[in-house]
A and B are shown apart, each in its own frame.
Chain A
Amino acid sequence: MDVVNQMQRQFVDYSTSLHREGILDDQFTQLQKLQDENSPDFVVEVASLFFEDCEKLINNMARALEQQGVDFKQVDASVHQLKGSSSSIGAVQVKNVCIAFRSFCEAQNREGCLRCLQQVTHEYSLLKNKLQTLFRLEQQILAAGGSIPVIE
């Protein structure tokens, strides 16, 4: 059980650090709370969907920004969606970049948009890594027979 306890502690610490770093916010905690015996993989599911969606949106944005005549409306639509999904999952950094991104879209500032796109990609990768680490920790705890501690 020590191992489990250790893992659990690790999990909690890691989780807390993510929040502290501002990578995740309270919304993520809410998601975790929604996970229960009826939907044990809820958080992982949502995160996976988010990753998929995010990648698709980033690709869309990149493609749109590469065009000669940039369709800012389209870029904006993608950013808007990314903003929505990132806020739903609690990916606060990603969301914040999206907010800035949208202003650049409105201003039709290609350079600004490209910069934001870069930032978004960066934040997204960071988040993905961190979450994957977190999930791995969770899996380990469960595999060892422990339960995921609830983070308040």
Chain B
Amino acid sequence: MTVERIVSETKDQFPIGMRVLAVDDDPTCLLLLETLLRRCQYHVTTTSQAVTALKMLRENKNRFDLVISDVHMPDMDGFKLLELVGLEMDLPVIMLSANGDTKLVMKGITHGACDYLLKPVRIEELKNIWQHVVRRKKFDRKDRNNSDSLDKPHVDSGEAAGMGNADNNVKLNKKRKDQNEDEDEDRDENGHDNDDPSTQKKPRVVWSVELHRKFVAAVNQLGIEKAVPKRILELMNVEKLTRENVASHLQAKFRLYLKRISCVANQQANVAASLGTADSSYLRMGPLNGLGNFHALAGTDQLHNAAFRSFPPSGVLGRLNTPSGLGIRGLPSPGTIQLGHVQNSGHSINDPSKLQSFVPGNHNANILQGMPMSLELDQLQNNKGVSHIGELPTANSTSVFPVSGSLMDAQITGFSNNPLLGVTSNSLMLEGSSRQSALHASNLRDGVYAIGFQNGNTLSEFASIDPVSNQLRDSKADLQGQAASINCNAGKIMRSVAQEWNAPRKDAPYQSHLMSCSVNSSTSSNGAMVQLDQCLDRNNSIFHRTMDSDSIGPLNFVDPLSIKHVEAHNSAMEPSVIEKERYLMYQSRPQGNHIPDSVGSLEDLASAMMKQDQGKGNRRTQ
């Protein structure tokens, strides 16, 4: 029996056969838990080590539906595991403890646990835990459907429930085919099988990570204005790739990017502000309420200068998954996503590696190292933080990625609620650093990373991230690898792109598009990544990964795609790639540049974005 078959069978009888991973260092409790879970007809895997659990989860993200973990464990704090799982895998996690202290329970919830059970655990309680899985799935699906209706469905194929991706695809317009293709391709890349190839009429080009990277490099090299498909194609020098493929990829990525941005823009107003101008420190923490939180959350001083450490997949991003509460929960400590320091001087992210995300010292503040995208690490399950990559552009090494953890419905501007958001924006200083690769996409998973909006427009500009955030939740794409890649390069690219696309254009549709885009991405974890990837890819057409360009204006692009969605990519994609993508997403709002014709819809998106931007005044310095 293949795993897939088992999975599908069990899923049919859900909650029977729900696959649970139980982690507890106490053998007595573990045995008891296992027996109880089996009695509930779940499929149980146990381990007494958190490290082993993580390994199992990382090996196959689709292997489990739910994780139950003790809080006190010798090898790793339960909360840390919670964060990591939330960020990387976007799975519901239930905490278990003999200590029912309110503070601890609160900590669990803020770290993103979807439930907190007290020992001795009773079978009645375990009988209901499946609801957390369903809730998450439903949320994703709903978001996905919404986004689909708005735009091409960024279905995250990840969801085993088979969110009718295929259906959505079929419903899509022919003209969306390209996007579908991209999505499908991305999904396929991610290993999802849900894509329905039948919707595509032309031979599909699979935009692998490598290919996309080349694409981004080419775009980067050409510069936004000159990044026409033909030239890109030439630079990429890939056999059998046609100009049409490149064109559609370019368009798709851009659209995704714009969508994301618009989603994030709304929420990221503050963040954007912080992202500010190139010359100023990106950490405009000031406006961001979250900042304070962020710092607090971080609990360490790493926020600002966290070296880019190789970031274990532990999510910087908090679990933004909880569908229910996209509300911004206080910043989950884990979540400070600091993506490195944005170097004010730079403005251009010259060195992708510069992105540094610092990892908060404690597990609470998981900073995605190397993830340019500041991911809200908070495991707020309910909050999918949107990471905004602030100021990516300027800082050579740092981009601030405001990660609005729980962008759910809260406007990021508020931030107060969501420390995550605040923090992210501020803290999302991505420091480009060579270590970026460490950025783990996983962290980004949950949140939609709103790529910093440089001109301070960030949040406000973006459409409410809510939809995005919701999605982010589910789409905890494993940003593991990806996060990293969203390094400064991305930012840079974004900036330049942003500038290019500055032309005011219709925004409404795009914004919604973006939003839905992001929403989509959040759906299943697998899908999320895919979506993210897709979005990134699409939007990345403009952004290149290489941060060589130097003046990427502040990135106003929000990366609605939760980075985390890059589940499939995690393994496949190098962190650096992901990071780059992210960066791309984060571009400062275009300052009024015109989107090159080739961009087509991108222009529209850009203009939409620009409009917002313009309202705020472009602070970008080209």
Contacts and interface: CB of A to CB of B under 8 A. Distances in A.
Contacts of B99: 80, 83
A84 B35 contact: no
A52 interface: yes
B174 interface: no
A72 to B, nearest CB: 15
A52 B27 CA distance: 9
A50 B123 CA distance: 19
A48 to B, nearest CB: 9
Given A83-B98, A84-B26, A31 B32 contact: yes
Given A49-B27, A89-B28, A81 B72 contact: yes
Interface string B425-467: 0000000000000000000000000000000000000000000
Contact of A88 (B25, B39, B120, B123): B120
Interface in A78-99: 80-81, 83-85, 87-90
A46 B36 contact: no
Contacts of A39: 35
B72 A89 contact: no
Interface string B62-89: 0000000010100000000000000000
A49 B29 CA distance: 9
B171 interface: no
Interface in A83-121: 83-85, 87-90
B202 interface: no
Contacts of A88: 26, 28-29, 32, 119-121
A28 to B, nearest CB: 10
A50 B28 contact: yes
A42 B28 contact: no
Given A49-B31, A77-B72, A87 B98 contact: yes
Contacts, number: 58
A34 interface: yes
Interface string B540-566: 000000000000000000000000000
Given A27-B120, A34-B39, A84 B31 contact: no
Nearest to A83: B98
Interface in A52-66: 52-53
Nearest to A51: B28
B123 A30 contact: yes
A71 interface: no
Interface residues of A, number: 22
Contacts of A85: 26, 28-29
A149 to B, nearest CB: 20
Chain B facing A: main interface SS: mixed
A42 B120 contact: no
A84 B32 contact: no
B97 interface: yes
Contact of B119 (A42, A45, A77, A84): A84
A77 B70 CA distance: 13
Contacts of B25: 81
B50 to A, nearest CB: 14
Interface centre among B28, B99, B121, B122 (most CB of A within 10 A): B28
Nearest to A38: B38
A88 B28 CA distance: 7
A92 to B, nearest CB: 10
Contact of A90 (B26, B98, B120): B120
B32 A89 contact: yes
Contacts of B97: 84
Interface centre among A50, A52, A87, A88 (most CB of B within 10 A): A88
Nearest to B96: A84
A37 B120 CA distance: 23
Contacts of B27: 49, 52-53
A34 B29 CA distance: 14
B120 A87 contact: yes
Interface string B119-135: 11111000000000000
Interface in A1-49: 27, 30-31, 34, 39, 42, 45-46, 49
Contacts of A83: 98-99
A90 B119 CA distance: 11
Contacts of A80: 72, 98-99
Interface string B92-114: 00000111000000000000000
A82 to B, nearest CB: 9
Contact of A42 (B29, B35, B121): B35
B44 to A, nearest CB: 13
B120 A53 contact: no
Interface in B2-60: 25-29, 31-32, 35-36, 39
A45 B31 contact: yes
B98 A84 contact: yes
Given A53-B26, A84-B98, A46 B72 contact: no
Nearest to B98: A84
A31 B34 CA distance: 12
A42 B97 CA distance: 22
Nearest to B27: A49
Contacts of B70: 84
A39 B575 CA distance: 46
A125 to B, nearest CB: 17
Given A53-B26, A84-B97, A46 B32 contact: yes
Contacts of B39: 34
B123 A84 contact: no
B15 to A, nearest CB: 19
A42 B36 CA distance: 11
Interface centre among A31, A46, A81, A83 (most CB of B within 10 A): A81
B37 to A, nearest CB: 11
Contacts of B35: 34, 39, 42, 46
6 contacts: A27-B120, A45-B31, A53-B26, A53-B27, A84-B72, A88-B119
Given A84-B97, A84-B119, 4 more contacts: A83-B99, A84-B70, A88-B26, A88-B119
4 tightest Cβ-Cβ pairs between the two chains A and B: A84-B98, A85-B28, A88-B120, A50-B28
